[in-house]
Amino acid sequence: MNLTTLCAARAAEGRPVRAGLIGAGKFGSMFLSQVPGIEGLEVAAIADLDPGRARSACAEVGWDEARIAATRFVDDGRALAALDEVEVVIEATGHPRAGIAHALAAIAAGKHVVMVNVEADVLAGPALAHRAAEAGVVYSMAYGDQPALVCEMVDWARASGFGVVAAGKGTKYLPGYHQVTPDDVWDHYGLTAEEARRAGMNPQMFNSFLDGTKSAIEAAAIANATGLAVPEQGLAFPPCGADDLAHVLRPRALGGVLERSGMVEVVSSLERDGRPVFRDLRWGVYVVIEAPNDYAAACFRQYGLPTDATGRFAAMYRPFHMIGLELSVSVLSAALRHEPTGTTRRFAASVAAVAKRDLAVGETLDGEGGYTVHGQVMPAEHARDRDVLPIGLAQGVRLARPVRAGAPLCFADVAIVEDEAVRLYRGASATG
């Protein structure tokens, strides 16, 4: 709780924390909008495939001409990672292979890495975290994004002596969403395609939020960072509001929906018939805790915590997350405390690419949020035993065998080049 004090001290010494941002999209722009108000934090460089777009983003979020002129703009993330003036590299491209390459370059250059790119983290996080530790730098999740906020809540619960029964996030979900494609995604957001186009909204990216892929990726990231388990058959997305978390998110043996205690789960803001859930947690995060003894359970009641009927399970939640507006917490934590705001610790879960429809030999997969596949989280050992193709590698590769709708794809189903991303994923999945 003293990041601002530490940051101000760096400013007074004339050596502010200097970050480099790779990817000036929505997440990156939200971060940029906050920087002018943080004493002791500067953005030394921004990398984007279109540097002109990055300059425009800075102006759109309120940067003055002097700040823009003092910032270096480049079109190569690896070049940014090598700059002497950059202390912390923020990877915010959203592309798994690019994210891995940029993180490796940053670590090799002795820079801390804040990985906004959850897709890359789920694919190669164990290897990247290991390399960062060997290099003496921080490899961190991005604060403000839901996985990092969930990890913070889990850490709080464990440090307080509570058992963690469940943890996760909320989203808008119905079972039929798994088959939604970019052609019909805007119907579910209440927008026309033209309205979305004018707003600069990418249909494939927004479809990944809807079809369950992003939730699966974020659930895997939480599991890999906390050691919590993921459901054997994928996320259940139970409808649940803030008041019912402790009742719904408990083991089945006690009347809840969990396979066992210690699980990651995502709750839906919609009932299965489409009605809105009361006091939904669509934008929030939660942790369900268990009292370790009768005394603590009595304290739950005495201090007004909503509990389940047994009085032993209670929930803490945060109703909103602010995405890139909170990202500076990760940057400052890495630079000033040498601590991550959540980090991958082991390969506990993977995200399989599952066919949205029957796929034929010769078709090309289009990845997260596309027309061909969606992501389904599964335990790492299942992914390893079945040799499943992760969603992060299911883009731009051709089908070598037909795959039926609803089936997870395997590496043998596609013609794929064994590049660095594939090798890192296979290495992580082999060692756990």
**Judgement on whether residues 415 and 333 belong to the same structural domain of the protein:** no
Residue 30 included in any domain: yes
Burial class of residue 330, CB neighbours in 10 A (0-12, 13-18, 19+): buried
* Residue whose C-alpha is closest to residue 368's, from 185, 197, 233, 196: 185
123 vs 351: CA distance, rounded Å: 8
Q: Is the pLDDT of residue 385 over 90?
A: yes
Q: Cα 181 to chain center, whole Å?
A: 21
Q: Is the pLDDT of residue 199 over 80?
A: no
| pLDDT tens per residue across span 70-82 | 999 999 999 999 9
- Return mean pLDDT, the chain: 96
**Judgement on whether residues 89 and 118 belong to the same structural domain of the protein:** yes
Asked if 241 contacts 207 with a C-beta cutoff of 8 angstroms, the reply is no
Residue 207 included in any domain: no
This prediction's pTM? 0.97
Q: Which two tokens stand for residue 292?
A: 């370790």
| pLDDT tens per residue across span 204-226 | 989 999 999 999 999 999 999 99
Task: State residue 196's pLDDT score.
Answer: 84
Residue 257 included in any domain: yes
333 vs 27: CA distance, rounded Å: 18
Residue 137 included in any domain: yes
**Judgement on whether residues 231 and 367 belong to the same structural domain of the protein:** no
Residue 205 included in any domain: no
pLDDT band with cut points at 50, 70 and 90 for residue 148: very high
Domain boundary among the residues 337, 364, 382 is at 337
**Judgement on whether residues 167 and 316 belong to the same structural domain of the protein:** yes
* Residue whose C-alpha is closest to residue 83's, from 130, 32, 45, 129: 45
Tokens 């309205």 sit on residue? 195
Task: State residue 392's pLDDT score.
Answer: 96
Residue 180 included in any domain: no
88 vs 330: CA distance, rounded Å: 10
Kindly report the CATH number assigned to the domain that includes residue 53. 3.40.50.720
Q: Is the pLDDT of residue 178 over 90?
A: yes
Show the domain range for 284: 147-173+212-320
Mean pLDDT of 29-34: 96
Q: What is the CA radius of gyration of the chain?
A: 22
Task: State residue 430's pLDDT score.
Answer: 74
Mean pLDDT of 185-189: 92
173 vs 398: CA distance, rounded Å: 29
Residues present in the chain in total: 432
Burial class of residue 161, CB neighbours in 10 A (0-12, 13-18, 19+): exposed
The number of domains in the chain is 3
**Judgement on whether residues 157 and 298 belong to the same structural domain of the protein:** yes
Backbone CA torsion sign across 61, 66, 69, 70: negative
Residue 342 included in any domain: no
Asked if 250 contacts 153 with a C-beta cutoff of 8 angstroms, the reply is no
| pLDDT tens per residue across span 244-286 | 999 999 999 999 999 999 999 999 999 999 999 999 999 999 9
**Judgement on whether residues 332 and 354 belong to the same structural domain of the protein:** no
**Judgement on whether residues 154 and 286 belong to the same structural domain of the protein:** yes
**Judgement on whether residues 393 and 270 belong to the same structural domain of the protein:** no
**Judgement on whether residues 407 and 359 belong to the same structural domain of the protein:** yes
The percent of residues in the chain predicted with pLDDT above 70, rounded, is 100
**Judgement on whether residues 152 and 138 belong to the same structural domain of the protein:** no
**Judgement on whether residues 135 and 219 belong to the same structural domain of the protein:** no
Domain boundary among the residues 304, 337, 370 is at 337
| pLDDT tens per residue across span 94-140 | 999 999 999 999 999 999 999 999 999 999 999 999 999 999 999 99
**Judgement on whether residues 79 and 93 belong to the same structural domain of the protein:** yes
Domain boundary among the residues 337, 369, 386 is at 337
Task: State residue 198's pLDDT score.
Answer: 76
pLDDT band with cut points at 50, 70 and 90 for residue 431: confident
Mean pLDDT of 10-15: 96
Q: What are phi and psi of 321, to 5 degrees?
A: -130, 150
396 vs 391: CA distance, rounded Å: 11
Task: State residue 197's pLDDT score.
Answer: 81
Residue 409 included in any domain: yes
